A and B are shown apart, each in its own frame.
Chain A
Amino acid sequence: MVSPTLVLLLAFLVIPAFYVGWLSFTTSTYGRESTFVGLANYAQLFGDRIFWRAFWNTFFLVNAIVYVEVALGLGLAVLLSAPMRGKALIIAVILAPYAITESSGIVMWRYMFEPDVGMVSQLVGRAGLPQLEWSTQPVATLFLAGTIAVWHHLPFTFLILYAALTTVPKDVLEASRIDGASDWQQFRLITLRLIMPAILIAVLFRYIFAIRTFAEVWLLTEGGPARLSEVLAIYLYREVFKYHQFGVAAATGWVMLLMSLGIAIPYLRRMYVEVRRGA
C-alpha cells in the first residue's frame, strides 16, 4: 500500500537526483557516448565566472528573501493574533497571493514597475527619485525578483507562524502580566521562545524553496543583461537546454542539492530521531 508513493518518489525524485551525482563525473551531450572525466566538470564549473556570479546572486537573493519574509510573516502573525472584527476575511485576503501562478504574479509586478509608464515608476518619477531599472541593472532585477518572491510566499510563512502563535497558552501570558511584564518583555521572553521551533521551520523551508528560485528572474530578464542576473536554477537550465553540457549541468545540480541538504541537516536529524522513536 505504500508502494505507489514510494515508486513515484523513487522514479521521479530520488533515483534521478542521485544519478545526477554520477552524471556530474561524466561528460555527455547529444549524440556522444558519455565518458568518465572525474572532477573535470567541477573544475570547469568553478572556473566559470558566470557560475560564481549566479552562485553569489543566489546567495544574496535567498538570504534576503528568507529573512525579510520571516520578519514580515512574524509581524503579520503577531498583528493578527489580537482579536479583531472580520479576521477571517482579512486572512483570506492575505492568503490570496498563494493562489496566483508565478507568471501572473510577474505580470502584475511588471505592470506596476514598467519603465516610465508603470504606476510605481510614475510615482517615484514624480517624487524626483530614480526609477528601479530592473531591465538593465542586475541588482535592481534581483531586488524586484526578491520582492515578487516574498509577495508570493509570505502567505505560507505567515500561516506557519500564525498557527504556532495560536498554540501559545493564554494563562502563561496572563501570569506574566500579573508579574508585571511589559508587552515587549512578554513577546521576547515568552511568545518568541515558545514559537521558536515554528520560526526555525519557516526559515528552513523558505531556504529550501528559495534556492529553487527560477521563474521570478527568468520572466523578468531571463538572467540578463549578459547573464549578470542569473541564479543557479537558470544557470543549470541554460547548461541543459541551451548548451547541452549535461555534465556541467549535473555538477551545478549537485551543488544545489548539497546546499539544500546542508541547510536541512539540523531539521532532518531531529526528525530522524522522532521517526525512530515512532512519534
Chain B
Amino acid sequence: MARRAGQRIVRIALVALALAWSAFPIALVVLSSFKPPSEIFAVPPTFVFTPTLDNYAVLWREYPGFFRALASSLMVAVGTTLLAIAASTLAGYVYARHRNRFLSGTAFGLLAARMLPPIIITVPLFPVLNALRLNDTHTLLILLYAAFYVSLGTWIMRAFVAKLPVELEEAAAVDGAGLIAILWRVVLPLVVPGIVAVAIFVVVFAWNEYVFALIFTTRNAKTAPVVIGEMLGTVEGVQWGVIFAAATVQLVPVLALVTALQRYLVAGLTAGAVKS
C-alpha cells in the first residue's frame, strides 16, 4: 500500500512538472503584459501586482504596424485555409476512390515533398517572385503556405474519405446526381471532421509562420510574428511590456482554437502521419 501511495505522489509531481513546463512561460508573459514597466524585471520577481493596461495602450498608440500585421495574418490564415482545404479535399477524394499508376506515383510524391526543407526554395524563388511582383503580397504567402500543407491535407482527407461507404455515392449516382452534386451534397457533409482537422493544422501554421514571412514580406503583407520578432530585435531598450501585450493579443485566438479543437488534432495526426 505504501508503495502504491508513493507511486501516486510521484505521478502527481511529474504531471505538475509537465504542466509547469508547458504553461509557465506562456502564463508568465500573459500575466506580465499587465505589469507596470517598473515591475517587469523586479528583483526579486513579483507575482502580486496591480494590473494595468498601460502596455496595451502603448502598443495601440505607438505600434499601429502591429495591428496592420495582425490583419495581414488573419487574411493569410483565412486564405491559406480555404485554398488548402479546397485543394486537399478534391485531391483526397480522388486518391481515396481511384487507383492507377499516375495516382500511386503522385501519392508517393506528396509524401516525399514533405521531406524537402522549404527554406531551400527561397534561392530560386526570390528573383522570380520579384519579377512577377508577387513579393510582399498576401497572395504569395497564401500560395506558399498552402503548398507546404496540401500534402498533409490531402493525406488526411484521403483517410477520411476512405472511411465512408462508397454505396452512398453510388446510390446518389443512380438517382442521377452528377459528380459535383455527389461531392457537394453527399461527401462534403460527411468529411467535416477531416476538414476541421486539416483546418486546424493550416490555421496554426499560417497564423504563426515566421521564416517565410520574414523573407518574403517587407511592408504590405508583413505578419504579426515578424513584427513581434522585430520588436524583440530592437538594439536599444527592448520594451518588454509592450512586446508581452503584442504576444498576448497574437496568441489568445489561436490558443483558444487549439484548446477547443484538440481532439481533431489527434484525429488528423493519426490519419496523416502515423498510419499510411
Contact = CB atoms under 8 A, between A and B. Distances in A.
B121 A119 contact: no
Interface in B1-58: 11, 14-15, 18-19, 21-23, 25-26, 28-29, 32, 41, 43-45
Interface string A214-256: 1100010000000000000100110011000010011001101
B228 A104 contact: yes
Nearest to A271: B111
B29 A101 contact: no
Contact of B121 (A17, A102, A103, A215): A17
A58 B225 CA distance: 24
B226 interface: yes
A170 B217 CA distance: 52
A24 to B, nearest CB: 9
B250 interface: yes
B87 interface: yes
Given A2-B103, A5-B88, A208 B115 contact: yes
A261 B124 CA distance: 20
Contacts of A91: 262
Interface string A40-75: 000000000000000000000000000000000000
A136 B13 CA distance: 35
Contacts of A256: 117, 119-120
Interface stretch (B167-175, B188-196, B239-247): B239-247
Nearest to A158: B18
B126 A240 contact: yes
A106 B25 CA distance: 10
A98 B45 contact: no
B259 interface: yes
B186 interface: no
Interface string A15-37: 01101100100000000000000
A265 to B, nearest CB: 9
A129 interface: no
B104 A117 contact: no
A237 B215 CA distance: 9
B178 interface: no
Contact of B276 (A13, A111, A275): A275
B74 interface: no
Contact of B274 (A8, A9, A164): A164
A197 B25 CA distance: 32
Chain A contact patch, size range: 35 or more
A9 B113 contact: yes
B28 A112 contact: yes
Given A109-B25, A212-B117, A254-B120, A1 B90 contact: yes
A8 B262 contact: no
Nearest to B100: A278
Contact of B123 (A122, A253, A271): A253
Interface stretch (A76-84, A138-146, A171-179, A186-194): A76-84
B233 A108 contact: no
Contacts of B23: 93, 96
A127 interface: no
A198 interface: yes
A237 B119 CA distance: 8
A104 B121 contact: no
Interface in B211-230: 211, 215, 224-226, 228-229
B154 interface: yes
Contacts of B25: 97, 105, 108-109, 112, 151
B273 interface: yes
Interface string B106-120: 111111111111111
Nearest to A204: B115
> Which one of A82, A94, A256 has the greatest number of beta carbons of chain B within 10 Å?
A94
A101 B250 contact: yes
Interface in A96-136: 96-112, 114, 117-119, 122
A2 B210 contact: no
Nearest to B16: A90
14 contacts: A1-B91, A4-B91, A9-B147, A13-B147, A23-B123, A23-B124, A79-B11, A102-B225, A104-B251, A122-B45, A201-B273, A236-B123, A249-B123, A250-B123
Interface of A: 1-2, 4-6, 8-9, 11-14, 16-17, 19-20, 23, 76, 79-80, 82, 84, 88, 90-112, 114, 117-119, 122, 151, 154-156, 159-160, 162-164, 197-198, 201, 205, 208, 211-212, 214-215, 219, 233, 236-237, 240-241, 246, 249-250, 253-254, 256-257, 260-261, 264, 268, 271-272, 274-276, 278-279
Q: Can you list the 4 inter-chain pairs with the closest CB atoms, starting with the nearest?
A: A253-B120, A12-B147, A101-B208, A108-B25
Given A5-B88, A95-B265, A205-B273, 9 more contacts: A11-B147, A91-B262, A103-B229, A122-B45, A160-B273, A198-B274, A215-B229, A236-B123, A268-B112
